[in-house]
Amino acid sequence: MPSDTLREQLLDFHAGYSRCIATDDLEGWPELFSADCVYRVTTAENEREGLAAGLIYASSRAMLRDRISALRHANIYERQRYRHITGTPYVLDSDADCAHCETPFLVLRIVQDDATSLYASGIYKDVFVRDGRRLLLRSRVVVCDSRRIDTLMAIPL
């Protein structure tokens, strides 16, 4: 691989993130975050009104691992699959160590014997840090467009 620009690294990151979830490699998902990180899921409405609480909140990679572990054991989710499609990253700010970016996404839910549906859309508000040649998420706030989002949300967005 030749020397990458930030944009190329961002595209790679998003492609890898989506693939991690699509292939059910959920144990790989927390490893895309830095050890000390924030992962928060909220709605555009809550975000506009300054309600930081959100639907899901985790403040470390260890919490994300616990979340996946619980998900595997509880096995609460039905036989369904998710397909993430991400748009083009918009870089707000970047320096040698850190990048602030926003990327729109949509997620389809595929349930066997049923029609595929739009599950969620919104924007990732991300802070990336460098880990050698890779990027890691220092913070991901998932702002869902609709407030009609399944609060169970077993699967990572």
Q: Which chain residues interact with a copy of itself by CB under 8 A?
A: 1-2, 5, 7-8, 11-12, 14-16, 18-19, 22, 44-45, 81, 83-91, 102, 104, 106, 108, 110, 112-118, 120-123, 145-148
Torsion of CA 77, 83, 88, 91, to 10 degrees: 20
Report how far residue 98's alpha carbon sits from residue 94's, in angstroms, rounded to the nearest whole number.
6
| C-beta of 60 vs 121, nearer to a copy of itself | 121
* Closest distance to a copy of itself from the beta carbon of 81 (Å): 6
Tell me the Cα Rg of the chain.
Answer: 15
Q: Which is nearer to a copy of itself, 44 or 63 (CB)?
A: 44
Nearest distance, CB of residue 64 and a copy of itself, angstroms: 22
Nearer to a copy of itself, 67 or 125 (CB): 125
Give least dist CB 62 to a copy of itself, A: 27
CA proximity to 108, closest of 85, 91, 74 = 85
CB of 60 to a copy of itself, least distance (A): 27
Q: In 3-state terms, the chain is what percent helix, strand and coil (to 5)?
A: 25, 40, 30
- Please list, in sequence order, all residues whose beta carbon lies within 8 angstroms of the beta carbon of residue 88, skipping any fewer than 6 positions away: 103
Closest to a copy of itself by CB, 7 vs 65, is 7
